[in-house]
Every structure is written in structure tokens, then in C-alpha cells.
Structure 1
């Protein structure tokens, strides 16, 4: 380099959040097979699945950036607060009425209205009515389309109004129908705490029978006809993209959130019939696990949707390309017109004479966020220097490891209550140990100390087993196997069943651990990213 780089504590190769990292995101984007699959109009892939920091939002923003006919659904503009605060909705949930079909109807309506806006560039009432007249002229003689056209007629002047008004109107229709027959019961539910718990089994069953009629709305059948109509009204080869992201955020009360996400996933399949509509939903892996846990009784099985899922994975070559692009982009603007690479900054070997990039990758889950975070911490530790030294790397690792332990616990807290306590079961252990070493008589006592006292959501299988073990004899081996399966799911450990096989980490296999294959001699390896924070013995 003609001009040496000087590092300081503000040197960054990007920010942790893709929303705040727009400059680096578009200038240094690394093409992904997932992006190619999601943007192919004839590909069934619609559900982008990945862990926190894997780059889901970056891909969503890239699709939005490069396609004029694309729209990101803003969850905070969908009047979902109105839905969550509805006395009628909460009454039906309290009665254990399955609202899946109603929620599916909501999602289909939202996506179809957004699609019509995109497809026909609807931005006012006049344009909205004009577009409906075009569709009507095209299909008015086809009796099979009558229901779909009737539905569109109801909304002909409303394609352009805000999303929250659309959802409020549909929810209010449900409220009016329910109140017409069960208004007095809804009033009792609203005015008297614990009203539903006080009902006799016979009375509750009677109310459920009436309420279920409203949970299967005619709206859903009408929407199916709308889909058929729009499927035959194809006007362009390139798809119109309706994008949904940030489902892990607090956009609605959790009592409704998980059934709503389940309904969204269920609704995607039928929307595929419209060839110039491509719906892409980004979803965190741990959130999908939580949805499955919370909606088990509804018969939801993620296996049925494998054909629609893209799992976001990165290899070392792609991650190295991402880091090099970002380092070059950062320093060329300030110091040189020459290309500046990772090797220009990380010049010293690190522990065990490893190359710095190999050492960084070893301490990540092969996700962009992990790599960017580690490199940023190394740059921060190298204030005033022209390169990252071995000592700077070691200091950065201490901070990075503590950061990763906290982030992992937060990421999985909604799936595994007290996830931080579960992770701390690895504290002070050897890097590699056998399952038998966990199977002590005091394992239950250790877990009981961290048992969630008043869980507001369903317990994970580990805590269910601990709960059972308080009243019946549970073998330490069974407890140890369940503990290991949860640690594996979080990405904290790898498991080796056979000496001829490599360690199986969840971030590589994307498959939960088959507990039946575990035995006392199964080897467990704690992921290197947690070694410093947990005081793991190498």
C-alpha cells in the first residue's frame, strides 16, 4: 500500500443491523444462492430461514433495492394493535377457538391488496376504481370468477387506503358478527376477570360451537376466488415482490403472534397460483421453533413446507469475500486507491499459529454478523496501529465471546426459558467431554435451581422434563440427553456420535439432534466462540 492504514476505535467494516448498514450493504453485497432462488419467478422458495445475523434482512433489502415493483409490508402499520386489543378476538382466544383460518384470511387480504397496488400502481381512489373496471371487463362473462369479482367490487375504492384501515374493517366485521349472537357473553368476559374459567364444561362447549362459525370466514372462500381471478390476469413476466420481515419484533401480543405467523406460513402456498406475485418472508430459525412449540395442537408441521424454505448458509469463501469488500470499501476512501485486503490489516498469526481469518471463522456460526462484529472489535483494540497484533486479537476475543454468550441467550430466550442458565451449565467444563460426565445425581439439583417459576408461555421440553423429575424418578442420562439437545439447538455445542464422523453443529446441519443416537460415550465439543466467556478448559 502506498499509504499505510492507521486504525482507531471508530474504524468499522459495517454495523450489526442491516437496516442501519445501508452504505456497506449495497456497496459490498456478496451474491447469495438464497437471493437467486428467492427472486426466480418459477421457484417455489418463499420462506427465508436463518439465525440472527445470518443476513436475512440484507437479502430482503437487496430485493427491495433492485426491483421497482416491490414493497416491504410494514408490520407497525397494519393495525395489529387494534387486533390484539379486540375484546372479541381475546374472547375467542380465551374460549380456545382456533382462529387460524381468520388469520390466514387477514394475511391473504393484506398481501393481495399490496400486490394489486404494485401491479397496477394504485395510489388514489380514482385509479383504484379504474383498475377494478379493467379486471371486471376481462372476466365479467366468466361465472366462475363471480365470487372473486364480487370481493374486489367491495374493495374497488379501497385498494389505495392504508393497511391499518383495511385490517380494522375486516376485524370490525368479525366483531359485529360475533357480537350479534354472543354480545352478552363478550360483555361478561370483558367486565369480569376469569369469566371463561368459571364456565361449566357444557356452557363452554356450547359457546365454542357457536363461535367456531365465525372463525371460518366466508372471506377465505372469496379470497380463493380472487386468487384464481388474479392468477389469470398476468400482465408482466417479472414478478411483483411483497416482502415481510422483522416478525421477531414486538409487533403484536405474543398470545396472537405465534398463531399469526403460523397462519402467514400456511397462506403462502395458495398465493403461488399467481405467477407474477412473489411473496418472500424472512423468519428466524428460533422463531419458527417457537411457532411450532406454541401451535402444536393446531397440527402445524414445518416438514410440509420444506419445498418453500430457503435456509440461509454461508461458507468460508463467501464470508472472506464479504470481509475483503468491506475492508477495501472502508479504507480506500480514506487512505488509498489501491485494493486493501484482510491480510493487509491482520498480518500476525494468532493462537496455535492459525491464520487470523481461520481463527475468526472458528469462533463464529458462519454468519456475517459474527464475522463483522469480531473484525470490528479487533480494529477497536488496535487504536493508533497499522495492523492488528496477536495481543489485540486476543483482547478482542474476550469481548467478542462475552458478547456472543449474551446474544445467544437473548436469541433463544423465547424458545428455551432461562436460556442463559442452560448455557451456564457449560461453565468451567473441558472443551471436549463425554456425555457420561453430565450424568451425575446432582444434575437435577443444578437444573431445579434455574427452573422458571411463573412461565407465561409454554415450557420447553427440558423444563417439562425437570418438572416431571420433581415428582417421579427420571434417570440422569435422560436429563443429560435433553440438556444436550437444547444446547445443540442453540449452537453452543457440537456432537460426535462416531469417531469417524466430524462434530455435528446445528448451524451446519440445520437439523435438531436425534436424541436416540446419544449414548454415554458420545463426545461433546463446546463451540470455541464461548470458550473465553465460560472459562472453558482447552
Structure 2
């Protein structure tokens, strides 16, 4: 690669490796070894490039759960020196949305809706973000569904040409199905039967549920050949933010903690109350 760059007179080259989980049904040992090999190879290339005149940089994009699962001798060293965690919040997500909207219609989000707050006096964008995993693709998926709902409303009944609360509410079910598919792609390579737990939660029927209730139904519903206990099932659901845990906030009170928004909050085996992520409420037909 360095030889070709020098021969062609390229002064700066960026090589990106993305979507490494595409089509992956199992994150088995062979796949782990392949990704480990890629990571080590890119590090070697970057080191060699640093000795040459060519400014070559290779970057591997990897989901956090996949990175956590692989193990190799230099992983800790690479984590501390070469890993950049990409995280988002509502403000940065809004910047992404405004950038995309401006490039398409020359406007920004604030001019695309009627300004009326959602139930609970929540701003529309905050309402959408609360149903995401703080990822741009989640927000964009919700907005694409929202746009389709608004177009259909305007075509059939007329009315304002901006998003209204009714459009957002009617977008939730389709978006909820999208979110379940996203989770399936992430969890199934590690736990093929994970949706059995979703069905149990759906039968409980409530957004918040007690550990004892889940354990009773899990014991009754899961096959004896299942490779996870109810405790392990809850822990895995927590790790992927399917559920949040009710725990002390550090300020004398309690709050709901989700791994996607607070990655430093590890699983607490003593937790007794859990809440399903809001984005899955419609897909699982849950009540508050």
C-alpha cells in the first residue's frame, strides 16, 4: 500500500473499515480472530506509514459490544492509546439533523414543526431522542418515518405543512419495529434466543416490571436446554439497553439507568426493578 501511494504521488490516504458486522449471524471464534487480525494489521500499517513521507491512516469502526468480546495480548495497550469512543447527546444529534435538513431544504429542524410540546411538556426533538439509543441512525430513521406520516396526513386531510404531535405519535409503532430489528442484528450473534425474553416481557405487559415477575415467567417459558439463567438473561438485556435498572442516583434519590446513556454503570445483580426502553413500547404492546 505504501509503495503504491509513493508511486502514484499520493500525499494523504485514509482507509476506513466499517460495517464489519454486516450479515453476521454469529460472533464466533473465527470471526473474532478475523477482526483481531484486521485491528493488528491496521496498527502495523499505521506504524509503518509514520516512518514514511506518505500520510496514510487506517481506521477500524467497531461496535462497542464486539470490541468488548474480543481478546488479544495488546488489547489494553490499543484501548488506552488508539481507541476513540464515538458518543452522542441531544445537542450533537440535533446538529447532525440540522446539517442534513439544511442540505436538503435549506432550513433547520425548528422551522419544520409547529412548536407545540408533546405530552408531559416535552419538546418534540427531546421526545424523539428519548426513544433512541443516542445514535444518528435512530434519529434519522424516526424522522424518515415521521416525514412519511406527515405527507400522508397532508395528502388525505390537508392541514399545516409542518410536523405536528399527531404525526410523531403515529410514527412510534413503525419506529419501534425498526428498533427491535436493530437490536436483533446486534444481540442475535451472541444470543440466538434473546427474543424469547422479549416475548416474556410482552406478556407481562408493563413498561416497568419486577425481577421476581420476570424470573417466574422465565422459568415457566424457557426450554431446559437454554444456555442462560433468568439472571443472565436480564444482564444481557441490560448490557444492550433493552432494559434499564432502577438504582441510586448518587444524590440521595433513585433514577432509571440505561447502559447506552451511562456506559460506566455496570450490571448490578441486586437490582429488583427494571424498565423497558421507550423505543420498544409499541412493538411489545406495553402499558405504562
Give the TM interval when normalised to the shorter protein.
0.7 to 0.9
Structure 2 residue corresponding to 1:259, chosen from 12, 33, 50? 33
- Cα deviation for residue 513 of structure 1 reads 3.4
The number of residues matched between the two structures is: 268
Indicate the residue corresponding to 2:172 in structure 1: 397
Give deviations 1:30-80, integer Å, cap 9, x for gaps: xxxxxxxxxxxxxxxxxxxxxxxxxxxxxxxxxxxxxxxxxxxxxxxxxxx
Q: Is the 8 A contact 1:116 1:122 kept in 2?
A: no
> In 1, distance between residues paired with 2:76 and 2:261?
18
> In 1, distance between residues paired with 2:60 and 2:92?
23
Alignment CA distance shift 1:480-1:283 (3 Å): same
Q: Which has the bigger relative contact order, CA under 8 A and spacing at least 6?
A: 1
Q: Does 1:344 align with 2:111?
A: yes
Q: Is the 8 A contact 1:119 1:240 kept in 2?
A: no
Q: Is the 8 A contact 1:286 1:412 kept in 2?
A: no
SS state at 1:401 partner: helix
Q: Is the 8 A contact 2:248 2:254 kept in 1?
A: yes
Structure 2 residue corresponding to 1:507, chosen from 260, 263, 267? 260
Give deviations 1:295-330, integer Å, cap 9, x for gaps: x6xx56854432222121111111111112222322
Q: Does 1:486 align with 2:236?
A: yes
Q: Does 1:319 align with 2:93?
A: yes
Indicate the residue corresponding to 1:464 in structure 2: 227
Q: Does 1:439 align with 2:190?
A: no
- Cα deviation for residue 485 of structure 1 reads 1.1
> In 1, distance between residues paired with 2:241 and 2:208?
15
Q: Does 1:278 align with 2:57?
A: yes
Structure 2, unpaired ranges of 5+: 155-159
Indicate the residue corresponding to 1:329 in structure 2: 103
Indicate the residue corresponding to 1:208 in structure 2: none
> In 1, distance between residues paired with 2:175 and 2:188?
20
Q: Does 1:530 align with 2:283?
A: no
> In 1, distance between residues paired with 2:105 and 2:7?
44
Q: Does 1:247 align with 2:247?
A: no
Q: Is the 8 A contact 1:491 1:527 kept in 2?
A: yes
Q: Is the 8 A contact 1:488 1:506 kept in 2?
A: yes
SS state at 1:387 partner: coil
- Cα deviation for residue 373 of structure 1 reads 1.0
- Cα deviation for residue 268 of structure 1 reads 4.2
Q: Is the 8 A contact 1:491 1:505 kept in 2?
A: yes
Alignment CA distance shift 1:506-1:119 (3 Å): farther
Alignment CA distance shift 1:447-1:309 (3 Å): farther
Give deviations 1:210-245, integer Å, cap 9, x for gaps: xxxxxxxxxxxxxxxxxxxxxxxxxx7xx6433222
> In 2, distance between residues paired with 1:409 and 1:512?
23
TM-score norm. by structure 1 comes to 0.45
- Cα deviation for residue 122 of structure 1 reads 7.4
SS state at 1:266 partner: helix
> In 2, distance between residues paired with 1:122 and 1:320?
40
> In 1, distance between residues paired with 2:19 and 2:118?
37
Indicate the residue corresponding to 1:161 in structure 2: none
Indicate the residue corresponding to 2:84 in structure 1: 310
SS state at 1:506 partner: coil
> In 2, distance between residues paired with 1:329 and 1:489?
36
Q: Is the 8 A contact 2:142 2:171 kept in 1?
A: yes
- Cα deviation for residue 401 of structure 1 reads 0.9
Q: Is the 8 A contact 1:498 1:522 kept in 2?
A: no
Q: Is the 8 A contact 2:257 2:265 kept in 1?
A: no
Give the structure with the higher percent helix: 1
Q: Is the 8 A contact 1:423 1:487 kept in 2?
A: no
Q: Is the 8 A contact 2:200 2:218 kept in 1?
A: no
Q: Is the 8 A contact 2:142 2:175 kept in 1?
A: yes
> In 2, distance between residues paired with 1:244 and 1:119?
22
Q: Does 1:379 align with 2:147?
A: yes
Indicate the residue corresponding to 1:141 in structure 2: none
- Cα deviation for residue 260 of structure 1 reads 1.2
Alignment CA distance shift 1:401-1:249 (3 Å): closer
- Cα deviation for residue 390 of structure 1 reads 1.8
> In 2, distance between residues paired with 1:326 and 1:272?
32
Structure 2 residue corresponding to 1:518, chosen from 263, 269, 272? 269
- Cα deviation for residue 355 of structure 1 reads 1.1
Bigger CA radius of gyration: 1
